[in-house]
Amino acid sequence: MFKRASMGFILISVLVFILGACSNESSKESKTETVATVNGEEILKKDYDKQLENSKAYFQQQGMNVDDLDNQAQEEFEQSVLDQLINTKLLLQTAQKEGVTIEQSEINAEVDKMKSQFEDTKKYQEALKENQLTEKNLKEEIKDQLTLTKFFDKRIGDITVSDDEVKSMYEQYKKQAESQGQERLEDDFESVKPQLEQQAIAQKKNEKITELIEGLRKDSEKNIKIL
């Protein structure tokens, strides 16, 4: 069966991994130890450790236990997490240079949306505690997330896809279904076209974000220090 929920390339947006919750560790060494610097700005080990934990949890939800990987694969995974933090730092620095700003009202609106998903304030506070967050930390993360979204919109702009591109994606799914022994697709092209358009746009946007990050990394290569 061609299930709509399973359609789509696995596109992990930069926004999925960029923000790790700020933990309230008591160790002074953990709070101040630095793993990298980007244009003079530090990336702390506590933030790296938290991001690593979050990334492992994400892949665990997808059915992959990172701790079961061989040593080389684990090292590559850990390096990818550090790269994500470096990329985020570069993006935020560039956004600031280009004058991207976020109003407090925008941040508050996002917090209110989150709060509305909980039964009451107590449940909301419990969720913050479970994620080792204070509301101040949460607002800082939301600000960074909104900054990146606005920066991408500014740099990349509107993205469109042609009918041919959407049709090509549909044909890929047909081939995939056939390779899995399915005689025919349950969903015809017209019924899934709107969803496929969104997936094609997301894919193209991720490609442009990747190009943007690669350019920033190249330009700042001499100013990125991994310690």
Q: Provide the pLDDT confidence category of residue 54 given band limits of 50, 70 and 90.
A: confident
Over 50: is that where the pLDDT of 18 sits?
no
Over 90: is that where the pLDDT of 61 sits?
no
Over 50: is that where the pLDDT of 44 sits?
yes
Q: Where are the domains of the chain?
A: 4-220
The CATH number assigned to the domain with range 4-220 reads: 1.10.4030.10
CA dihedral in degrees (40, 44, 47, 50; nearest 10)? 140
Helix 135-156 vs helix 104-115: crossing angle, to nearest 10? 120
Q: Provide the pLDDT confidence category of residue 8 given band limits of 50, 70 and 90.
A: very low
Residue with more model confidence, 8 or 95 = 95
Query: CB–CB of 189/167 below 8 Å?
Result: yes
For 154-184, the pLDDT digits (tens) are 999 889 999 999 999 888 888 887 777 665 5
What is the percentage of the chain residues whose pLDDT exceeds 90? 56
> Residue 36's beta-bridge partner residues?
43, 226
| Residue whose C-alpha is closest to residue 15's, from 133, 110, 145, 131 | 145
Six-digit token string for 85 = 């933090």
3-state secondary structure of 18: coil
CA distance 7 to 16: 19
> How does the average pLDDT of the chain come out, rounded?
83
Residue by residue, DSSP assigns 63-86 as: T--GGGS-HHHHHHHHHHHHHHHH
CA distance 39 to 42: 9
| Confidence (pTM) | 0.77
